Amino acid sequence: MTITTADLTKMSQAELDALYQKSSMGSLPNGDSQGTAMVMPGTLISKVLMPLIKVLAWKGKVFHRDQEYLFNKVSPLSVQLVKAQIYKGDSWIDGGEAIVLDYSKTSFVAQKIRDEIREVAPGLYLGQAYWGKTRILNFILEF
């Protein structure tokens, strides 16, 4: 059975963490993705915030694998802003391999943000977003 974005949005934080930990890093993504941000996964708050965030704030990421960077798609217009470096690194969740999205050297406004992703199904990535060392949300990228 292949996991879908809809499946992920119904999971609790514990279920997402277990899936993330058993998933491999996968291949470095390339191109345009559709994003879904999940604050407090598996709760009513998450169900309310997911569509609001998608419409008003964040719509995904556009990866440029060959140049090792990405841009976030922000605002209702999907403007490509907030650049990050892409590289393989260690996960802060379990120490295993992950794809790191590092904003520290590429973005003044997001310099304290670090994301990491793993491929949980073909073309479907589960991500963790950190502010400093504190995880602030999960997100999904669908290619």
User: Which domain does 85 fall in, by range?
Assistant: 5-142
Q: What is the CATH number of the domain that holds 104?
A: 2.40.160
Please provide residue 58's backbone torsions phi and psi, each rounded to the nearest 5 degrees.
-135, 130
Distances in Å between the Cα of 38 and the Cα atoms of 16, 48, 52 are: 11, 10, 11
Report DSSP state, residue 104: T
Distances in Å between the Cα of 64 and the Cα atoms of 20, 23, 87, 93, 101 are: 23, 23, 12, 25, 12
Q: Could you report the per-residue pLDDT of 125-139, keeping only the tens digit for each?
A: 999 999 999 999 999
Q: Count the domains in the chain.
A: 1
Token digits of residue 109: 């406004």
Share of the chain above pLDDT 90, in %: 99
Our CA dihedral for 20, 33, 100, 83, rounded to 10 degrees, sits at -150
pLDDT the model gives residue 70: 98
Please provide residue 50's backbone torsions phi and psi, each rounded to the nearest 5 degrees.
-55, -55
Token digits of residue 47: 């169900």
